[in-house]
Structure 1
Amino acid sequence: MTPLVLIPGYMLDETLWDDVLPVLGEDTPCFHGSLREGATVQEMAQRILDASPPRFALAGFSMGGYIAREMARLAPQRVLSLILIATSARPDSQATREQRAKAALNTPPGPFRGLSRGAIATSLHPDRAGDAQLIARVRAMGERLGPDVFLRQSLLERGDLERLGEVVCPTLVVAAAQDQLRSLAEAQELRDGIRGAQLEVVERSGHLVPLEQPAMLAALMRRVTLR
């Protein structure tokens, strides 16, 4: 079975995939790419490549999608297929960059608590926005990563809309029907910009697809890894 490298998103760690892995099955060897280090997309991509198997399928969630595409460009002979989940190729708007930088540079004193409950709730399907257990789980990921990672990831410059055509491996784009952070139009841009890419939309899910609809996501991912 083709190894699968999993890359999380902004202020998320490898536990993002905990509910997906059992559905993928033991016959899919999985490796976790970390975004704890690196100040640029290329640095993060190269670090994960250095720790990855010789050839592998690759899945990137949200910010991890930018890193995954850079890996596919840096090592096209190694990345056999690509799964892009709830992500985009657009750069952040000026307002978003300023908001993130302000938050990162003005972290309140005391222990770092991860992303705010309000920010996490906004990223979820409306039916899950009050799920205290799920929100706590996401906050715990950010708390484990800490303030230094928060600063680096918040200041990360990203955007590769003009370079999508350089991705040459089979690609599946996965969008969430109720994603308030990434639009269907952004997913369609990925599909249209990467030659031969396919698009699937997961219903009844907000942005955090691996946590909200892990079984549906795993089924789509297996279609790629079983090729």
Structure 2
Amino acid sequence: MTRLTSVLFLPALLCDASLWRAQIEDLRDIAAPAIADLTLDDTVAAMADRALAAAPETFALVALSMGGYVAFEMLRQAPERVTRLALLDTSAREDSAARRRERADAIVALEAGRFLGVTDRLLPQLIHQTHVHGPVGDQVKAMAARVGRDAFIRQQRAILGRGDSRDLLARITIPTAIGVGDTDVLQRSIPGISKKMLVQTLREMERLGLISRHVERVVPPAVEYRLTSLGRRFVEPVQLLYDWGRANADAL
């Protein structure tokens, strides 16, 4: 019987466990999944504490966006417990002053008014325009409605209080895969990230199959391949998450 790899998934802002439904299904014969609840705490450190307390002794870690902020904190607190890492559409850099003001203003508005969830106006800022109208957009709206106003405020406060994690990047020595959407503003900062991570090669990965094969190399315990290449252009992360599954690693 194949030994299953423990995999902990960290959702993004306003996302819940359903974000990872396709991955759990696709990886069911090689992974023992768990999904952290990032809706209960108002600091990244507390989110990381809670996730670590509920996680297996060692595990592969997969994180999207805000989940990446929590992943960095987990690596600070317990680096010996994380065996492999996948960071999707996230940043080690703290928010700019302008972005911090936007978050603070959003908290004030939410506390004084009604939570509208992810509206049609906001959705194009979160996913690629080709997925705004359809199942991906509907899924994002539904997750936000389930997470709700109070948890959203806690999450925004946690993000506001997080520190800069760029000093941590050079100390990450475990096999790591990094992905970002080809229309995401994070793409502009990838050259700087590649220097921090000492990337050996920089490839363009636009086909879901190719991305899946890279992720496949991160998850199985039998694979000793050290993944250090960065994908410069990925399909939009939510679509990647929706359709990300197993593929033949030998074809890479």
TM class by smaller structure? 0.7 to 0.9
Alpha-carbon deviation of 1:201? 4.4
Deviation at residue 102 of structure 1 after TM alignment: 1.4
Q: Does 1:88 align with 2:91?
A: yes
Aligned partners of 2:39 and 2:152 also within 8 Å: no
* Aligned residue runs from structure 1 range 105-120, under 5 A: 105-107=108-110, 109-110=113-114, 112-120=115-123
Matching residue within 6, 13, 37 for 2:40: 37
Q: Give the RMSD, CA atoms, in angstroms.
A: 2.4
Equivalent in 130, 135, 138 of residue 136 of structure 1: 138
Counterpart-to-counterpart distance in 2, 1:20 and 1:189: 29
Are the counterparts in 1 of residues 11 and 36 from structure 2 also a CA contact under 8 Å? yes
Aligned to 1:57, what secondary structure does the other structure show? strand
- 1:50-99 alpha-carbon deviations (Å, 9 max, x no partner): 00001100011011111112212211211001110011111111121211
- Shift of the 72–198 alpha-carbon distance from structure 1 to 2, 3 Å rule, reads farther
Q: Which runs of 5+ in 1 are unaligned?
A: none
- 1:154 counterpart residue number: 156
- Do structure 1's residue 24 and structure 2's residue 27 form an aligned pair? yes
Please report how far the alpha carbon of residue 142 of structure 1 lies from its aligned counterpart in structure 2 after TM superposition.
Answer: 1.6
Match of 1:199 in 2: 230
* One of 147, 164, 171 as aligned partner of 2:169: 164
Cα deviation 1:25-72 (Å, max 9, x = unaligned): 333111001111222222111110000001100011011111112212
Identify the range of structure 1 (162-171 vs 192-201) with the bigger mean alpha-carbon deviation.
Answer: 192-201
> Which letter does structure 2 place at the counterpart of 1:178?
T
Question: Contact (CA 8 Å) 1:8, 1:60: kept in 2 or not?
Answer: yes
Alpha-carbon distance in structure 2 between the residues aligned to 1:135 and 1:114: 12
- Please state how far the C-alpha of 1:188 moved relative to its aligned partner: 4.1
Max Rg structure = 2
Whole-angstrom distance in 1 between the partners of 2:77 and 2:23: 27
Equivalent in the alignment of 1:122: 125
Amino acid in structure 1 at the alignment position of 2:154: R
Structure 1 Cα separation of the partners of residues 87 and 7 of structure 2 = 13
Quote the Cα distance in structure 2 between the aligned partners of 1:54 and 1:37.
22
Cα separation, 1, equivalents of 2:230 and 2:40:
30
Aligned residue in 2 for 1:213: 240
Q: Percent identity?
A: 29
Question: Structure 2 stretches of 5 or more lacking a match?
Answer: 200-227
With normalisation by structure 1, the TM-score equals 0.83
Supply the AA of the counterpart residue of 1:163: L
Q: Which of 2-11 and 192-201 deviates more? A: 192-201
What amino acid does structure 1 have at the position aligned with 2:54?
A
Q: Given that residues 127 and 137 in structure 2 are in contact (C-alpha distance below 8 angstroms), is that contact kept between their aligned partners in structure 1?
A: no
Which residue number in structure 2 is paired with residue 7 of structure 1?
A: 10
- Cα separation, partners in 2 of 1:142 and 1:70, compared to 1, 3 Å: same
More deviation, 17-26/62-71: 17-26
Contact in 2 for aligned 1:34/1:48 (Cα 8 Å): yes
Letter in 1 for 2:131: R
Aligned length: 214
Q: Report the residue type matching 1:200 in the other structure.
A: G
